[in-house]
């Protein structure tokens, strides 16, 4: 099949086989498996890849639709503590530029409930988590430092205060001297003009 018409016909055939197989999966599992086998053969003949999701959903041997709890089982290969420590040591010993000896992640094994065939699905390796060091964490939480030049020194404030006090004292002294001069002037103007002798002074003489 080639061209848009052939692609449309292929897509229609695959959709029909998939829908029919799922409708008959409970009432007639054998017919459903046969339809899915025909679907897999049609994909193989047209060089269509099979994704991991399809491989863990449909058995590649008999075409049975694998449903967990209905005959099909799932098993994850969980490493024990010893294997984890060994693998972690190997990873630490490997240089940054050297290829890793452990290029695959964990695997899950699907067991077909009809024919018993195993389907292995490789899970992708989780990306490494970058951990921050204590120094970077402390520097990020450190309070902002203030420049010493932005704050006025205490000596300047004391000098300004003493200068203001002296100027106020001088103003008070000038005001006091002016008042004393006015008082003396008023007292001198109130005294009688003459030699300072009264009539009693002449009579005594």
Bridge partners for 107 per DSSP: 122
Lowest mean pLDDT among 23-27, 89-93, 120-124: 89-93
In what helix (H) or strand (E) does residue 121 lie, and over which residues does it extend? strand 118-122
Residue 183: inside a domain, yes or no?
no
Other Cβ atoms less than 10 A from the Cβ of 68: the count is 11
For residues 49-72, average pLDDT = 88
Contact 125, 67 (CB under 8 A): no
* Number of domains comprising the chain: 1
Contact 33, 26 (CB under 8 A): no
Residue 170: inside a domain, yes or no?
no
Other Cβ atoms less than 10 A from the Cβ of 165: the count is 10
Contact 57, 100 (CB under 8 A): no
Locus of tokens 């452990």: 102
Range of the domain at 25: 9-122
Please tell me the distance from the alpha carbon of residue 61 to that of residue 119, in angstroms, as a whole number: 9
When mean pLDDT is compared over 15-24, 121-130, 160-169, the highest value belongs to 15-24
Residue 71: inside a domain, yes or no?
yes
Residue 191: inside a domain, yes or no?
no
Residue 34: inside a domain, yes or no?
yes
Q: What is the reported pLDDT for 30? A: 94
DSSP 8-state secondary structure symbol assigned to residue 95: -
For residues 131-146, average pLDDT = 63
Residue 131: inside a domain, yes or no?
no
Q: What is the reported pLDDT for 102? A: 47
Inter-helix orientation angle 29-45/3-23, to 10°? 160
Lowest mean pLDDT among 16-25, 106-115, 151-160, 162-171: 151-160
Q: Which among 82, 77, 74, 131 has a CA at the least distance from the CA of 104? A: 77
Half-sphere exposure of 151 (CA within 13 A, CB side): 7
pLDDT for 53 beyond 90: no
Q: Which two tokens stand for residue 135?
A: 């120094």
Phi/psi at 122 (nearest 5 deg)?
-90, 125
Please tell me the distance from the alpha carbon of residue 6 to that of residue 45, in angstroms, as a whole number: 13
Residue 105: inside a domain, yes or no?
yes
In what helix (H) or strand (E) does residue 119 lie, and over which residues does it extend? strand 118-122
Half-sphere exposure of 203 (CA within 13 A, CB side): 3
Q: Tell me the residue length of the chain.
A: 205
Residue 137: inside a domain, yes or no?
no
């Amino acid at each position: 099949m080639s061209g848009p018409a052939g692609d449309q016909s292929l897509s229609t055939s695959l959709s029909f086989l998939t829908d029919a197989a799922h409708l008959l999966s409970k009432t007639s599992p054998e017919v459903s498996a046969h339809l899915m086998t025909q679907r897999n053969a049609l994909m193989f003949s047209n060089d269509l890849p099979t994704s991991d999701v399809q491989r863990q959903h449909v058995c590649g041997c008999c075409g049975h639709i694998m449903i967990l709890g209905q005959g099909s089982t799932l098993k994850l290969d969980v490493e024990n503590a010893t294997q984890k420590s060994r693998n972690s040591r190997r990873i630490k010993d490997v240089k940054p530029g050297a290829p890793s000896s452990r290029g695959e992640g964990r695997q899950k094994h699907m067991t077909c409930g009809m024919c018993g065939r195993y389907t292995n699905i490789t899970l992708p390796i989780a990306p490494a988590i970058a951990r921050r060091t204590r120094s970077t964490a402390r520097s990020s939480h450190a309070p902002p430092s203030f420049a010493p030049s932005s704050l006025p020194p205490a000596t300047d404030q004391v000098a300004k205060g003493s200068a203001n006090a002296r100027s106020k004292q001088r103003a008070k002294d000038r005001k006091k001297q002016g008042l004393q001069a006015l008082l003396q002037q008023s007292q001198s103007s109130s005294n009688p003009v003459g030699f300072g002798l009264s009539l009693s002074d002449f009579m005594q003489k």
